[in-house]
Amino acid sequence: MKTYKSSLVALLLLVLANVNTTKVVAQELKGNISISGAFALYPITVKWAEEFKKLHPAVKIDIQAGGAGKGITDVLSKVTDIGLVSRDLNPAEFKKEAFAVAVTKDAVIPTISATSPYRKVLYERGVRKDAFNNIFITGKYKSWNALGFKSEAPIHVYTRSDASGAAETWAKYFNKKQEDLLGVAVFGDPGLAQAVKRDPNGIGFNNIVYIYDTKTNKATNGVVPLPIDLNNNGKLDPDENFYDNLDLLIAAIVAGKYPSPPARDLYYVTVGKPKNPIVKEFIKYILTDGQKFVTEAGYIKFSKEKLTKELEKVK
């Protein structure tokens, strides 16, 4: 009897040991993830990757910024595992089996140089949507005189040279496409910010994280938001004046005060529903524990309902 009991105990211990071993192995992710695409998603993706690798040190994540166009092209041609896309996908891309998971939200903001001589007045008046249209789309407004200033200095317009989600989203605000935008074309978010920063007569647009310093919450990168006169009354009313710091702007986007577009969701795109366990776990991490880094990184956190909906896509 003792021998039987001893054998039974030994068998149970062996089973438990195997269960525990299996559990550990299941948690040990090993391999590579390659990611490319939108400048808008690059900073937060770097943060997510750093934190994910703390949990899974055997995972290597390679991330390259190059614009949303590069992201969608790379992932659909299977050059990368994930494409970072900062615009809505089109039917042709879905036809090629693009599978999009929204991971956070931000906005495209019109910008001027912090050294602009028109800055003070623009922050009192704002700029109407139709005026932006005449600057970026029709080209009717060629000098600062057109915006009510006693100045014949030309308005220097800047846009993106790369296939850009920010440019596509800014153009969508006027029911247009990126190719309809006028201006000197500059590569990437950092390049566009630098071009506007150096030009007191310049107007451009950037994603939030390339305007505001997430540590100070202020626009301290040499460019500042150019406020939109949302009700077209020729002045920037208190409920339109939410550009002073990052917290105010994010609150305005969450409340729907800042229009959408140019506010928009940001996506991780794969070819079909992700099957690679490392990619799958990374996206699941982003939609759960990774969300605690979203606000501090200068992005807008989704509601619990939205996160649950996106998480269901990858389960």
**Same domain, residue pair 118 and 240:** yes
Residue 145 — left, alpha, or beta (φ > 0 → left; ψ -120 to 50 → alpha)? alpha
In a domain, 259, yes or no: no
**Same domain, residue pair 238 and 282:** no
In a domain, 23, yes or no: no
What value does the mean pLDDT take over residues 160-165?
96
For residue 279, what is the domain's CATH number? 3.40.190.10
Separation between Cα atoms, residue 281 and residue 315, nearest integer Å? 9
In a domain, 5, yes or no: no
**Same domain, residue pair 278 and 192:** no
**Same domain, residue pair 120 and 250:** yes
**Same domain, residue pair 224 and 116:** yes
Separation between Cα atoms, residue 264 and residue 273, nearest integer Å? 22
Pick the last residue of a domain from 229, 254, 279.
254
What pLDDT, on a 0 to 100 scale, did the predictor assign at position 28? Answer: 81
In a domain, 22, yes or no: no
Lowest mean pLDDT among 9-13, 59-63, 84-88: 9-13
What pLDDT, on a 0 to 100 scale, did the predictor assign at position 200? Answer: 98
**Same domain, residue pair 185 and 294:** no
Nearest partner of 72 among 204, 161, 162, judged by Cα: 162
Q: Is residue 82 over pLDDT 80? A: yes
Q: Is residue 276 over pLDDT 70? A: yes
Give the pLDDT band of residue 27 (cuts 50, 70, 90). low
Query: In this predicted model, what pLDDT tens digit does every residue of 5-23 receive, in sequence order?
Result: 444 444 444 444 444 433 3
What value does the mean pLDDT take over residues 126-142?
98
In a domain, 97, yes or no: yes
Query: In this predicted model, what pLDDT tens digit does every residue of 181-231 receive, in sequence order?
Result: 999 999 999 999 999 999 999 999 999 999 999 999 999 889 999 999 999
**Same domain, residue pair 219 and 115:** yes
**Same domain, residue pair 250 and 276:** no
Sequence-distant (≥ 6) Cβ neighbours of residue 266 within 8 angstroms: 38, 40, 41, 84, 85, 86, 102, 103, 104, 105, 106, 165, 299
Pick the last residue of a domain from 214, 231, 254.
254
What pLDDT, on a 0 to 100 scale, did the predictor assign at position 25? Answer: 38
In a domain, 43, yes or no: yes
Separation between Cα atoms, residue 228 and residue 109, nearest integer Å? 9
- Higher-pLDDT residue of 11, 147: 147
What value does the mean pLDDT take over residues 150-157?
96
Domain total in the chain: 2
- Residue pair 83/36 in contact (Cβ under 8 Å)? The answer is yes
**Same domain, residue pair 143 and 126:** yes
Q: Could you tell me the residue range of the domain that residue 70 belongs to?
A: 29-105+265-314
Separation between Cα atoms, residue 243 and residue 114, nearest integer Å? 13
**Same domain, residue pair 98 and 122:** no
* pTM listed for this prediction: 0.88
Residue 63, CA atoms < 13 Å, CB-side half-sphere: 17
**Same domain, residue pair 178 and 248:** yes
**Same domain, residue pair 89 and 218:** no
What pLDDT, on a 0 to 100 scale, did the predictor assign at position 270? Answer: 98
Q: Is residue 284 over pLDDT 50? A: yes
What pLDDT, on a 0 to 100 scale, did the predictor assign at position 33? Answer: 97
In a domain, 12, yes or no: no
Backbone angles phi, psi at 71, to 5 degrees: -60, -50
In a domain, 233, yes or no: yes
Give the pLDDT band of residue 178 (cuts 50, 70, 90). very high
Q: In sequence order, what DSSP letters do the residues of 70-121 get, joined into one string?
A: HHHHHHHTTSSSEEEE-SPPPHHHHHTTEEEEEEEEEEEEEEEETT-TTHHH
Give the pLDDT band of residue 235 (cuts 50, 70, 90). very high
Which residue has 């590069």 as its token pair? 70
